[in-house]
Chains A and B, each alone.
Chain A
Amino acid sequence: MDSHKSIQNLSIPELDVDAVRKDFPILQTTIHDKPLIYLDNAASSQKPEFVIKTINNYYSYEHSNVHRGIHHLSQQATQQYEQAREKVANFIGANHSHEIIWTRGTTEAINLVAYSWGQNNLKQGDVIIISTCEHHSNIVPWQLICELTGATLRHLPLDSHDKSFNLNKLAEMLTPNTRMIALTHMSNVLGTITDLSKVVELARHNGSLVLADGAQSVPHIPVNVAELGIDFLAFSGHKMLGPTGIGCLYGREELLEDMPPYQGGGDMIETVTMSQSTWNQLPYKFEAGTPNIAGAIGLGAAVDYLEHLGMESVRAHSHKLNSYAISALSEIDQISIYGPRNPSVRGGVFSFNHADIHPHDLGQVLDSKGVAIRAGHHCAQPLMAELGVGSTARASFYIYNTQSEIDELCAAIKSAGEFFSK
């Protein structure tokens, strides 16, 4: 990932955070009579008015089913829906819009690949490699398909020092039997960004495919699938300003062409007789049934919004907040941060623990001050085991967060410290 290089590039316009904040109705609200400080963006982002209005407008005046009607509304809905697909394809640098499959989110996208690709391509002796720091959604689907096909799931251990991926270790693990390397592009616990180009280079040597879990990366850093050379990318709309219930699988055309359907039903067929059916072309082969039309259109609007800001600017803002957060949190003696300290190799996800306060209690005290963070295992139990903790507190930032909110976070942590030591 070379996005950090451009951080130094002064031509990147700075985000006008005050203006951005005005676009988010929820940021004008209070929680327990305190202004909301929303730092749980890795779980789900808030939505700008532009996205909310687009969805509202669609349901108010433009709704109809897609691909089915000859009437005006259906054609209009179909057009908007397909335009959203094109926007997403452009956004991630896909060559064709039919390489974008709508799913419910990252989880469904990874399941789609594991089942559809796995069913046709895996056999006993084959190996899938994941890492210790995956979200459960990039672990469990592979466990299930390995059980079905007899393939073996192996995991890339993290560097014991900085918990990054040890790519030398990955190189050692690869054999001609390695069929898929499925890694997170940005850890939802540690924030670490994976050098995917390097992973792809190693994989190509061995004839393995690469799937990237982009749930955390696509919302926060410029991601270009063609430049990275990855085969599959999974991500969720709701973490990138879009609605819940919509997400994407990007897959390289020739791979998707060879994969069998994931679910059967309407829209995914070409012809159906009582004994057999033929499949529709891409991407519809993988989109059985009436899709989440409003979700796709809403995600298209979210992409418009992000592109309007510019992903380089989004990344630069994150970089600035990350540097600030690292030094601010490090000033609190009782806090230990997990993950890299170099803001150039990480995104704005900070997991940490307080020496004297359990994450749950910390989260509770922060909530009473209007500061929303997450406490728990973050759907990454193997990583928690590796870190030797049951859970962590996690603060994660986005375009509307400010340095003064990080100051508030730190003040709230300090006051929690006092509360529990009184």
Chain B
Amino acid sequence: MTHGLNWIRALVVMIALVVACAPAMTRQAGAQEAGAQAVNPTAMSVQADDLLQQEGKLQGYLAQPDPKLAILEQPQGRLWRAFHESWLPWGSGILILAVVLLLGGVYLLKGPIQADEVSGIKILRFNVFERFTHWLTAISFIILALSGINYIFGKRYLLPLIGPEAFGTLSQWGKYAHNYLAWPFMLGVLFMIVVWVKDNVPQRGVDWAWLKAGGGMFNNTHPSAGRFNAGQKLIFWWVALAGIVMSVTGIMLLFPFAAFGVNGMQITQVVHSVVGFLFIAVIIFHIYIGTLGMEGAYDAMGNGEVDVAWARAHHDLWVEDQLRK
């Protein structure tokens, strides 16, 4: 009995199953038929050039574990090339030449700013650590700047002079210098921010007046200034900000693809080189003022001491402050 019942139950289930599946099965067979007719490789075929135009670049799946190689084609490389081989050398070349010519002109026409004030009494302007910080940053900066310039102008001017082998060796050393001296430079910028930020906070009244008087450049007066005048403060803030930008982009270039893909690396490089050349232009100006452009200024960073009379003329508020202590 039970056996017979089970048998009937199984039969019912089977019939139900067949009934339920039949429409699905016919549907599938139909789909296969239609599919066979619809296989039209031309319609399905991707068109390489269209795809590139739509997406701006081509990328896909790659068996090797290297995401940057999954990009099949990135024509953006051509734009970066245009920047690197034409806009950058022309722009930076004109900028640097213009700054040098301008300063040369000022020097020839106006000559250095005289330091007539001599009292014979010295006052300490920068202590040993401040001078160490300054020269650490300055020396590494100059080598970074020269090796950086070599990346762009070396092959244009130096290579024809010394030949490809010598230039290759020199550039290899330049690259090591750039890669390793970047660290003392970053340290220097950091120290500099720490030791000088308190003297560089803008003071609205004094700094505005100084800037309005053009620093006294044109009428040979000495507008009031604290430890740093408004011009020096501008240089300080520029070095701090540009120093940070150069450090961040530089580290990105040192550890390529750690944070960005190839297009990100291109942009990083553009920022690094553009800010780098602006930095060089500003520092050429700074070096001019500190050496040729103004008598008496160099001593402050040389042996750290300046004449009290000079200090009174250029940094009156600071001298008063020092004497009060």
Do the two chains bind? no
